[in-house]
Amino acid sequence: NAGVTQTPKFQVLKTGQSMTLQCAQDMNHNSMYWYRQDPGMGLRLIYYSASEGTTDKGEVPNGYNVSRLNKREFSLRLESAAPSQTSVYFCASTTGLSGEQYFGPGTRLTVT
């Protein structure tokens, strides 16, 4: 039982490049989330998927797209990376019953 896994762990991009961050959970959770964490800003919600087949914007969706590929997988895509997207990205999931979210280990992204 791996919980929530994220790939890659680290990534360096040049401005304008694109990439997809992958997230998978093996807990049969309905809801999945993408957050970014910046110094002094806490965790901010980018997008979430309340259930398979649905996605919704969070607080800071601009510059990102998401895909809920199936119940297990939720990916985050940066189409044209900008230095302002340098951050640590966390994926999380929850059953939707208790509200407690389980987080992955994070992806540290640097855009130069």
The footprint of another protein (CB under 8 A) covers: 4, 31, 35, 40-45, 48, 50, 56, 58-59, 90, 92, 94, 96, 98-106
User: Minimum Å distance from CB 16 to another protein?
Assistant: 28
With respect to another protein, which residue has the nearer C-beta, 78 or 91?
91
CA distance 18 to 8: 14
User: Minimum Å distance from CB 15 to another protein?
Assistant: 26
With respect to another protein, which residue has the nearer C-beta, 31 or 85?
31
Looking up tokens 């959770």, which residue turns up? 29
Q: What is the DSSP string of 47-104?
A: EEESSTT--EE-S--TTEEEEE-SSSBEEEEESS--GGG-EEEEEEEE-SSS---EE-
With respect to another protein, which residue has the nearer C-beta, 17 or 50?
50
Q: One-letter amino acid identity for 13?
A: L
